[in-house]
């Protein structure tokens, strides 16, 4: 056998998997199956207040604010009052500008309060609550104050164990 190829060697005789590695992989597979079971059971549903949805009283405040601002600062309000034969159009517009400005400032202040102060303190999404605060004004601040602080699944499991 003078021409034997030394590069042609057989497979390694030591295994790639040790019993400890097999045990660890089995634990990981079991955890994945347990998570899938919990997900199918609906355990991981999110908080309905954490979606960017403005409904109910928050939506009503947003609509009323929009109408006030449109009538108070719109260019066609005087023309509308002329069509409706309302004589003191400028007086009504001046009267509407105060509450409209107050509502806009309240919305801006609520947005900052929700996004910077309240949402991080309750472990909630600052962006979502900033938008809700801008759209719904002080009503969003009240709603956020009433909500409990969000906890993660790990924190909830620790509380259950304790």
74 close to 89: Cβ distance less than 8 angstroms: no
**Separation CA 35–CA 141 (nearest Å):** 35
Smallest Cα–Cα separation from 136: which of 70, 63, 61, 49? 61
Give the CA dihedral 151, 156, 159, 161, nearest 10 degrees.
-160
* Confidence (pTM): 0.66
Q: What pLDDT, in 10s, does the model give residues 30-41?
A: 998 988 887 777
Q: What pLDDT, in 10s, does the model give residues 39-82?
A: 777 665 677 788 888 899 999 999 999 998 988 888 877 788 77
Q: What pLDDT, in 10s, does the model give residues 8-35?
A: 777 666 667 788 888 899 999 999 898 8
């Amino acid at each position: 056998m003078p021409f034997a190829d030394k590069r042609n060697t057989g497979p390694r005789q030591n295994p790639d998997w040790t019993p400890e590695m097999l045990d660890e992989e089995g634990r990981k597979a079991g955890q994945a199956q347990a998570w899938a079971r919990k997900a199918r059971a609906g355990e991981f549903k999110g908080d309905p207040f954490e979606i960017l949805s403005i409904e109910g009283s928050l939506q009503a405040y947003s609509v009323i604010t929009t109408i006030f601002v449109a009538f108070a600062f719109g260019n066609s309000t005087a023309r509308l009052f002329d069509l409706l034969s309302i004589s003191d159009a400028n007086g009504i517009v001046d009267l509407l500008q105060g509450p409209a400005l107050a509502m806009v400032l309240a919305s801006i202040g609520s947005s900052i309060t929700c996004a910077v102060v309240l949402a991080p303190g309750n472990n909630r999404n600052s962006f979502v609550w900033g938008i809700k605060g801008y759209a719904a004004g002080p009503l969003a601040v009240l709603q956020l104050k009433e909500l409990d602080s969000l906890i993660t699944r790990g924190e909830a499991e620790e509380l259950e164990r304790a």
